[in-house]
Amino acid sequence: MESQFQFSWQAALNSIPILIEGIPYTLMISFGGLLIGFILGIFFGLLSINKYWFLKWPATAYIEIFRGTPILVQVLFIFYGLPDLIGTPINPLTAGIAAIALNSGAYISEVVRGGVQSIDKGQTEAGLSLGLSRTQTFWSVVWPQAFRRMVPPLGNQAIVSIKDTSLFSVIGVGELVRQGQIYIATTFQAFEVYFMVALLYLAITLSLSLILRFIERRGLVSV
């Protein structure tokens, strides 16, 4: 049977004002979660390379649990499961930010661990030989060099987290996909709307990629 479908650019363009309303939520969840995730990543990443097992094991457990389970399951657990435990409902936006934070934090922990361990031990010895304490040596000598090496994988994680927000339509967060679903429910023009959703996600992630490449080329992250 020959398909009668014809793509309508007018329908796609008409959906843009509605879809754009979801962009602030997409960015708020992404970057709010990533900011918290970065803090968690530093904390658990450094704990994971600690020589004391009672500090290392909890960090390893956190990393493996949140890297080993789907983020969709995590956000469903936070939104639907946790309220049964704490006795109070959780706002969808809060649940989305928490899911991005916990999930990205686990991946960033591995980025931090790899970045720190990639720095030659001679750098630490040089810092100590100058009279710096181990803490001063780490934050003044090791960490700046490690952080510069972390920038590309941190950028990749940011892009992944932005795309992960598309899953949060299942809990009613008004991000891009959810706005698209609402518009489709009234117009029944799914192909055109999801086409525009994909283009908007692509525009966001490409913009971030270009910014990160500019930072790397210009060496704006100093050692």
Q: The pTM is what?
A: 0.90
Work out the pLDDT band at 1, boundaries 50, 70, 90.
Answer: low
Q: Is the pLDDT of residue 219 over 70?
A: no
Structure tokens at 198: 């994909």
Would you state the pLDDT for residue 220?
A: 56
Work out the pLDDT band at 3, boundaries 50, 70, 90.
Answer: low
Sign (positive or negative) of CA dihedral 207, 74, 29, 21: positive
Work out the pLDDT band at 223, boundaries 50, 70, 90.
Answer: very low
For residue 73, the SS3 value is helix
Q: Is the pLDDT of residue 36 over 90?
A: yes
What domains sit in the chain, N to C, each tagged with a CATH number? 23-169 (1.10.3720.10)
CB 119 within 8 A of CB 51: no
Count CB atoms within 10 A of the CB of residue 112. Answer: 28
| Over residues 122-144, mean pLDDT | 89
Which has more pLDDT, 223 or 55? 55
3-state DSSP: the chain helix, strand, coil percent, rounded to 5? 85, 0, 15
Crossing angle for the helix pair 176-187 and 9-20, to the nearest 10 degrees: 130
Would you state the pLDDT for residue 221?
A: 57
Q: Mean pLDDT lowest for which of 3-12, 14-23, 179-188, 200-209?
A: 3-12
* Mean pLDDT, rounded, of the chain: 91
| Over residues 94-102, mean pLDDT | 97
CA–CA distance, 129 with 191 (Å, rounded to integer): 65
